[in-house]
Each structure stands twice: as C-alpha cells, then as structure tokens.
Amino acid sequence: MPKSKIVVSEYQPVWAKQFIAFEEVFQCFLEDTMLSIEHIGSTSVPGLAAKPILDIDIVVANEAQQEEVIGRLEKLGYRHVGDQGVPGREAVKPVSDQVPLDGTGRTWPRHHLYICQQGVPSLQNHLHLRDYLREHPEQVIAYGELKKHLAARFPYDIDAYIQGKTEFILNILTASGMKPVELAVARAVNSSQLDQVQIRYLSVEDRDFFEEMFYTSLFVPPNEPPFSKSIIFKPGLLKYHQDWGRPSDLGLLLYAPEELIGAAWSRFFRREEKGYGFIDEDIPEIGIALRPKYRGNGLGTTLLKKLLEELRLRGVRAVSLSVDERNPALRLYERVGFKLDHQEEHAMVMINYL
C-alpha cells in the first residue's frame, strides 16, 4: 500500500467549530463517564498550520471509567484499537466517515480520538504544548513554518516528520515550566532513545527504593482502600525482597537526572517457599513498577523488555508472574509475550518463554 502524503495546511477557523460539534455529541452520549473533552494537537491552536485532522482526548478518572467510555463509543461506531504502545491512553477509530453515529447521517471531518486517564504524561505533554502556543503567537508562526518545511522535505516519511519536530516541542515544554526530569522522560518518548533516562542494575544500596516499588506493584482492586505499607513485610510478600542481592537475583533501575523512576526485578524460588506466581524452580518470578507520574509513556515496556533480555542472556528459559485479571498491567504483560499458565479466582499466573 502506498504511503499517504503529509499535507500541512494553513490554519482554518472551521477546525474550532468542528471540535465543538464533536464535543456536543460526546457530552450527550458519554454524560457522567468522563472528566473533560480536550481539543489538542495543532488544529487546537489558532493561527497554527496543521495537518487537517482533529486530535481529541476524552479524559477519564480511572481505568473503569475508561472501559465504560470505550464501550459507549463502540455503540457510536468506533472500533477500539488498544493503547498503541502508550499505556493509560486508549485509541478508537471511526469505522466510516459518518462516525460518530449521532442519528443525523452527516459526514464528519477526519479525526483521531483517544481516551486518556487523567495525569498520564502523554496527556500532560499535549496540554502543556497547546496552552503555551495559544499564549505565544510568535512561537505559533515558527512552529508552523517548521512543519511546512518538514512536510516538503519528508512528504512520505511520517517518522522523519515527527522526529524533526522533537527539539522544537521539547523547547516549548521547557519554556512552559516542565521539570527537568519530566523533560527527560518526554525526550525519551519522543526520540525513542533512552537519552537522559537510563537503566542500571538494582543494588543493595537501592533497598529503600526497591521496597517502595515493590509496594507500588501491589494491585488494589477498584473501590478498595490502599494497603498499609507494612504489608510488604508479611511472610507471603517479604520473601520477594528480603536479603536482596542473592547471586541469582536480578534487578534493573530506571532513572533520570535527579530522580528515580521505576524498577523491574526477578527472583528464583524453591518449591517449599514458592511465591504467588511460582511454576518451577528454574523459572524466576518477575515484578515491575514505576512511580505513578511516569506511567503511560512506554517506559514500563522498555524496562520490562530490558529485564527479559538480561534474563535471556543469562540462560533463563522462561519467566513467570502473578497478576490480578483486573490489573491494567495485564495488557503490558500480554504485549511482551506472557501467556496464561493457570488461574485461581482473580489471580492469573502467566509465563513467558524466552
């Protein structure tokens, strides 16, 4: 199939009116299942040249609300296509140009529609960029000229077009007041490189952070109160982090300048001390967690893949884990190759052959 040509048009006031029409339909059909509807992307900035495709984020409070919104949008004619590598943000696509099916039979303009959990970095980046540009018309002109130049230079290479905008976007995010560590994460996501965001081995000196991440990894079902932090020292969980640093232990730490971001780890268990995800003595159990503000931008996927690669190089044939079937992390595990081994009530024991 031939690639579509990248077309950047001068700003059209009709884009704002088109968004309002979408907003009215979504507010009617989604009612109390969302927090807000955001017009994001270049068509949301008056005066900015843009590809004539509207970008719309429907913001929700949590995963349960996200699933409810997806279900209602499917009835409006949208097809759910998953998170597309951005956890916390789910994409849906219209099945025809008459979607959303609001009963009018009208033809709608081209648009991209996402359902985002509040606070995820991808949403915050979009809002920071939009709001800053709306207040700085000189940057609007510069950004528009850059996009037209890139579209002319790379008319059929969308990756090169996006990459060419990265430095400009990061400069805007810097000017908007984003913290250095948040910018490091944004750079890694936009450039697909672990530039300032790096990975190193988890050491015994990282015990406090490891315990924080282990606690963070514990899933709390919706509408239930959080666990006491002392829960990680109960026998069933203490075995996962006690005396960390055994010869067979492997942990990785994800970090940026001035802040630790997350960790992933693995440990072998004997049959008599088996953990919740135990399958066999030569199959280690793994765990992973990120600080909440860094979720939703693909860093968890990068970290988990690195852990699996390290284990493969050490000759490990398979790894296992236990995950609650209601846990959003289930999608990440399935995406990197984990399959169900067996299930006990809500707990799924999964295996990944390396």
Question: Using one digit for the tens of pLDDT, what is the confidence trace for 202-238?
Answer: 998 999 999 999 999 999 988 889 899 999 999 999 9
- Say what the pTM is: 0.59
Same fold: 14-178 with 198-353 = no
Give the model's pLDDT for residue 196: 58
pLDDT in tens, 27-81: 999 988 999 999 999 999 999 999 999 999 999 998 889 999 999 999 999 999 8
Structural contact between residues 207 and 314, judged by C-beta atoms closer than 8 angstroms: no
pLDDT in tens, 113-168: 999 988 887 788 889 999 999 999 999 999 999 999 999 999 988 878 887 898 89
* CATH, range 198-353: 3.40.630.30
Maximum Cα interatomic distance, the chain, rounded to a whole number of Å? 69
Structural contact between residues 299 and 85, judged by C-beta atoms closer than 8 angstroms: no
Residue 195, pLDDT > 60, answer: no
Q: Which residue bears the tokens 């528009």?
A: 144
Q: Which residue bears the tokens 């005396």?
A: 243
Residue 91, pLDDT > 60, answer: yes
Q: Where are any strands of DSSP class E within the chain?
A: 36-40, 54-60, 78-82, 89-94, 111-117, 198-201, 250-256, 259-267, 285-290, 318-324, 339-344, 347-353
Give the model's pLDDT for residue 344: 86
Q: Are strands 78-82 and 347-353 parallel, antiparallel or unpaired?
A: unpaired
Give the model's pLDDT for residue 194: 40
Cα dihedral 27, 28, 29, 30, rounded to 10, equals 30
Sequence-separated (6 or more) residues with CB below 8 Å from residue 337? 308, 352, 353
Q: Is the dihedral of CA 212, 336, 66, 225 positive or negative?
A: negative
Confidence category of residue 256, pLDDT binned at 50, 70, 90: confident
* CATH, range 14-178: 3.30.460.10
State mean pLDDT over 329-344.
91
Q: Where are any strands of DSSP class E within 11-157?
A: 36-40, 54-60, 78-82, 89-94, 111-117
Residue 178, pLDDT > 60, answer: yes
pLDDT > 90 in the chain, percent: 65
Cα–Cα distance list, 89 to 31, 124, 141, 171, 289 (Å): 20, 12, 30, 24, 18
